[in-house]
Amino acid sequence: MKGGGIENSAFEPPSPDLGRQRRASPAGAGAGDPAREEGPCGWGRCAPKALQLCNNPEGYLAAYSLLAIFQGIVVNGLINVSISTIEKRYELNSSLTGLISASYDIAFCILSLFVSFFGERGHKPRWLAFSAFMIGLGSLTFSLPHFGSGKYHYGTKIEDTCQVSGTTSANFTCSTSTKSSLPNYLYIFILGQLMLGIGGTPLYTLGTAFIDDCVPKHKSSLYIGIGYAMSLLGPAIGYVLGGQLLNIYIDIQIPGSAKMSQDDPRWLGAWWIAFLACFFAVWLLIIPFSCFPKHLPGTAKIQAEKISETHNDGSEALVEAKNIGKSFKDFPVALLILLKNPVLMTLILASSSEALVATGFTTFLPKFIENQFGKTSSFSATLGGLVLIPAAALGQIISGLLISKCKMDCRSIIKFMIGTYSVALLLNTVFLFAKCGNEPLAGVSETYNGTGTLHNLTAPCNADCRCLRSMYYPVCGRDEVEYFSPCFAGCASHFFNNMKKTYHNCSCIGKPKRESGSEDFLYEAVPGKCPTQCKLLPLFLTFFFFAVIFTYMAVTPTTVAILRCVSDKQRAFALGVQSLFLRLLGTIPGPILFGLAIDNSCTLWDINECQIKGACWVYDNERMAYLLMGISAVCKIITVIAVVMAIWLYKPPPARSTPSGENSGTVSAIHT
């Protein structure tokens, strides 16, 4: 789900529940008799005995879990890890890559209501075979820009040293033909994401509903919990796998003329390999899903034994009297009933607000760590995954256990949500004290040894070098100031000393701040950014880890509260409505809004000699931290207000005659 909205169960309110709690009432919901549609596992008359060993809930759960894992690997793992690399390779800004991330939810948003409405009466395993087909095709499509864009050109010259002979350090001709076509691959990425969204819709609606159909109520939470765990495992694998693959050069083999390391800002990793591998793996899953029958053996008996638990909130009588939901003509009336439910809508507003923050951080947390704490993109991606995924999983498990053990009613659950959201809001203040300032950058935040002006890379010491802004190759001077390139540092030569490159005769670099034992070279610089002096990364990760835990401790309670505050026959549809608003208000604008905030904190854009704007080279770290904290804080305040309104508006139904044991069973079945 994607945040729930993050699109995989890892990062947003469990969209997987979307179809799970269909209709608990035994009297079939207008669909065919399950007993007549139970059958062997196979393809028509071809039903080998060996396949019948898988013709049970356990066999289906195994196939479902594998598909959820690969879906999570691609959508919530690999894409988020690859965002920073894709930006640089295809000259996109963060706003456009945020649009790529949101495209998944656009497809999911459009299809979720209709798929859950029609698919519930159809052949769910075949819907999942279609899901596997589209996820595989989307993964393949997402990797295609690598094969269409040709070899990666890291620059026409490795060293951009100062040449004072009257010629530029690198020849550059500006013409209309110099405008790059690389940004046009944005549309291929969006197409791939739309395909992935189409594939994810049946998986997290009908796929989970099929599990709930074919297992007894007291086992439902166990089976769905396993499915949740698998869908959470996917993004974790995706983050780690994608992060490691970024250590491989984008074209596999580094050109012989290039002497590049991973610390070189021009280094781009092989982001595309895992997408191609997932394409082949996911398509293999079409085979098992295509052989399952419409209903597993024993489904009819299980359905007959289930007892529906409804809420007498006023709409139940209307739904029962007119049998709303039996045909598509009831769609507008059924939707209107839910939209008029104030408790449902306030809970949806709360979950959507949280989904906006969750998807934003899921998409850009690696980039935040990379720029804020001076880490490599691969290390930042791995670290982001190791923080987000376990924290999200732990939060959902803790809240699920608490709801089940304490047997909370709807009002108690909403009170519990107020507590967890409030704690998460307080922990959000970590951005105020665990932020890092920028290291001094000559021509941006620091003058050139007292000469030149801020926000101007050219100074008297490098004016004759005629350096190019399109050649970003930062070096760290002995004066502990960072320079845009050796040319802008005024360095005229370089040497290799024990395989370590050093630059010399640098006219812009001042004297070392710390006395060294040797004065052999008055001016010297080394490739790469200056080491960050900020040691706050462990503190930030600790607070952020607990903030994620408390945020996701409200995910399962939100779903349970939604299921309880609507008519029993509208529970699945209510989750469909939640999924729609979750994406319209949360997961779609989330990455775009965070991308705009990050772009707004840029202090140095890649603008070449033709004034064509590319990606951002340098960000204002403090401004970035404040902007992200501001967005997060506003959303969390809206969430708390919405949940407080929900508990104020909620009117509990009259006492039920349902035995408490049955009620407890339903709670545990819902929380996953």
Q: Mean pLDDT over residues 424-429, rounded?
A: 88
> For 116-134, what is each residue's pLDDT tens digit?
777 766 788 888 999 999 9
Give the model's confidence band at 140: pLDDT under 50 very low, under 70 low, under 90 confident, else very high: very high
The structure tokens listed for 172 are 């550059």
Place of tokens 């959303």: 635
Is the pLDDT confidence value at 26 over 50?
no
Distant-in-sequence, close-in-space partners of 2: CB < 8 Å, separation ≥ 6: 8, 11, 12, 15, 75, 76, 104, 105, 108, 359, 362, 587
Q: Which of 76, 604, 38, 34 lies closest to 306 in space, CA to CA? A: 34
pLDDT score at 511: 76
Question: Residue 368: enclosing H or E segment and its boundaries?
Answer: helix 342-372
Cα–Cα–Cα angle for 137, 139, 140, rounded to 5 degrees: 65
Give CA–CA dist 119/132, Å, rounded: 16
Percent of the chain with pLDDT over 90: 12
Mean pLDDT of the region 180-201:
87
CA atoms of 660 and 415, how far apart (whole Å): 21
> What per-residue confidence (pLDDT) applies to 670?
33
Mean pLDDT over the full length of the chain: 76
Residue 96 has pLDDT above 90, yes or no: no
pLDDT of residue 134: 94
- What's the Cα-to-Cα distance from 232 to each of 9, 109, 227, 361, 670, rounded to whole Å? 6, 21, 9, 16, 18
Cα–Cα distance, 143 to 162 (Å, whole number): 39
Instruction: Report pLDDT digits (tens) over 632-641.
Output: 999 999 999 9
Please give the Cα distance from 262 to 86 (Å, whole number): 16
- Residue 34 above 60 pLDDT? no
pLDDT at 148: 83
CA distance 605 to 463: 20
Query: Which pLDDT does position 503 carry in this prediction?
Result: 85
Residue 358 near residue 6 (C-beta atoms within 8 A): yes
pLDDT at 630 over 80: yes
**C-alpha angle 170-440-533 in degrees, rounded to nearest 5:** 125
Query: Burial of 626 by CB count in 10 Å (0-12 exposed, 13-18 middle, 19+ buried)?
Result: middle
Residue scoring higher pLDDT (1 or 316) = 316
Q: Which residue has the higher pLDDT, 326 or 345?
A: 345
Q: Is the pLDDT of residue 622 over 80?
A: yes
Mean pLDDT of 605-625: 76
pLDDT score of 462 more than 80: yes
For the cut 80, the answer to whether the pLDDT of residue 417 exceeds it is: yes
CB 149 within 8 A of CB 182: yes
Provide the token pair at 128: 């999942």
What b/e sequence results for 172-210 when a residue is b if at least 16 CB atoms lie within 10 Å of its CB, and e otherwise? eeeeeeeeeebeebbebbbebbbbbbbbbbbbbbbbbbb
CA-CA distance, 460 to 451, in Å (whole number)? Answer: 7
Is the pLDDT at 546 greater than 70? The verdict is yes
Q: Looking at the predicted structure, is the pLDDT value of residue 663 above 50?
A: no
Which of 142-151, 185-194, 448-457, 543-552 has the least mean pLDDT? 448-457
Q: Averaged over 305-326, what is the pLDDT? A: 58
pLDDT-derived band at 39, boundaries 50, 70, 90: confident
| Amino acid present at 21 | Q
**Considering only 277-281, 565-569, 625-629, 641-645, which range has the smallest mean pLDDT?**
565-569
SS3 assignment, position 456: coil
pTM for the model stands at: 0.69
Which one has a higher pLDDT value, 611 or 421? Answer: 421
Strand 602-607 and strand 475-477: the pairing is unpaired
Q: Over the stretch 218-276, which tens digit does the pLDDT of each residue have?
A: 566 567 667 766 777 888 888 788 888 888 888 887 766 666 666 666 778 888 899 99
* Buried-state track 425-444, b at ≥16 Cβ within 10 A, e below 16: bebbebbeebbbebbbbbbb
pLDDT at 18 over 50: no
